[in-house]
Amino acid sequence: MAAIQASKSSTPLLKDELDIVIPTIRNLDFLEMWRPFFQPYHLIIVQDGDPSKTINVPEGFDYELYNRNDINKILGPKASCISFKDSACRCFGYMVSKKKYIFTIDDDCFVAKDPTGKEINALEQHIKNLLSPSSPFFFNTLYDPYRDGADFVRGYPFSLREGVPTAVSHGLWLNIPDYDAPTQLVKPRERNTRYVDAVMTIPKGTLFPMCGMNLGFNRELIGPAMYFGLMGDGQPIGRYDDMWAGWCTKVICDHLGLGIKTGLPYIWHSKASNPFVNLKKEYKGIYWQEELIPFFQSVTLPKDCTTVQKCYLELAKQVKAKLGKVDEYFNKLADAMVTWIEAWDELNPSTGLANGSAK
């Protein structure tokens, strides 16, 4: 199988088709390290916290910056669906983007090196993942068959080798792993030093914990499902924004016949967040997820849900009906999911036609 090759010319892959979305509360000095890889691309910076604070962006980057005042002005009453004082605010960037692809990264994520010492162009690897098919219906034991040096193994059905479009590329982290607070507390010094040179498709019917700090996706295929929920200020939960988006996205990708890849690329996650602060944010989520996971494992979407928007609105309805009993928060979240889709469609009036059809 032919793998996607890096451009031989000086033009970066998807230069005019991809936005980089960064949520932040601080100056973006970290971009200096990423300059060789990010500078050709357009950045969408979502400033969280105090909108009167000035965020400094290094010279030479093409960017637009939105703070809370901008979000309120653009969305009006519908701005209630965008979280405040939480990195979940990044999904506003997904909504205002006009590009086909999104790469999102946190401001404490630096350029990692592979085992040979070469700096990893994480963005380029995400693009390769997104531009090659996925294989969610049958697991290939050599992992991604579309990479150079790999293929489908003996016994893999030929009828499935064409694969399906890849909607999401989920990258990993060296140094500080993405652990929950209890694990952080019992393993405060643990660091991830294992570089595994592998990309794999997450099988259909299998959920996964999606981390939003090193993530690429095809906005046209799955964008409306990438809602990071209600987190942070005024909410009873935090640090489950990307998890929620991942569970919703996976259920919808499975229904629409789309693929999600995980593995490469790695970034260097530089800073461990405070486990005691994290525990305060997470503790209800840790408790609730024992009911959330069975909900997402058993949820089914009707065949007439043929677009991401229709799927997401159906999911919101089922969240309210089944998870509203767990806590009143889920009724509020279900309403916000509907508001999110209304706001998305107002800013992106034609995307409902761009999504794949149900299989």
Longest dimension (CA), the chain: 60
What is the number of other CB atoms lying within 10 angstroms of the CB of residue 55? 17
Quick one: average pLDDT of 60-64? 98
7 pLDDT higher than 80: no
- Phi and psi (nearest 5°) for 283? -60, -35
C-beta of residue 316 within 8 angstroms of C-beta of residue 338: yes
Q: To 10 degrees, what angle do helices 308-318 and 241-256 make?
A: 120
* pLDDT for the residue 288: 98
- The residue assigned the tokens 């990258």 is 171
Query: Pairing state of beta strands 259-269 and 166-175?
Result: parallel
Quick one: average pLDDT of 12-37? 97
* pLDDT for the residue 1: 44
Determine what percent of the chain is predicted with pLDDT higher than 70.
Answer: 95
Q: What's the pTM value of the predicted model, to 2 decimals?
A: 0.95
6 pLDDT higher than 80: no
9 pLDDT higher than 50: no
Q: What is the pLDDT of residues 263-319, one digit of tens each?
A: 999 999 999 899 999 999 999 999 999 999 999 999 999 999 999 999 999 999 999
Q: How far apart are alpha carbons 210 and 243 in whole angstroms?
A: 5
Q: To 10 degrees, what angle do helices 275-298 and 241-256 make?
A: 20
Q: What is the pLDDT of residues 196-226, one digit of tens each?
A: 999 999 999 999 999 999 999 999 999 999 9
132 pLDDT higher than 50: yes
357 pLDDT higher than 90: no
Helical spans, DSSP H, in 16-159 = 31-38, 68-75, 91-96, 122-131
Q: What is the pLDDT of residues 106-120, one digit of tens each?
A: 999 999 999 999 999
- The residue assigned the tokens 């494992």 is 297
* pLDDT for the residue 341: 98
Give the E-state strand segments of the chain in sequence order. Answer: 18-24, 42-47, 62-66, 101-105, 109-110, 166-175, 199-201, 214-218, 259-269
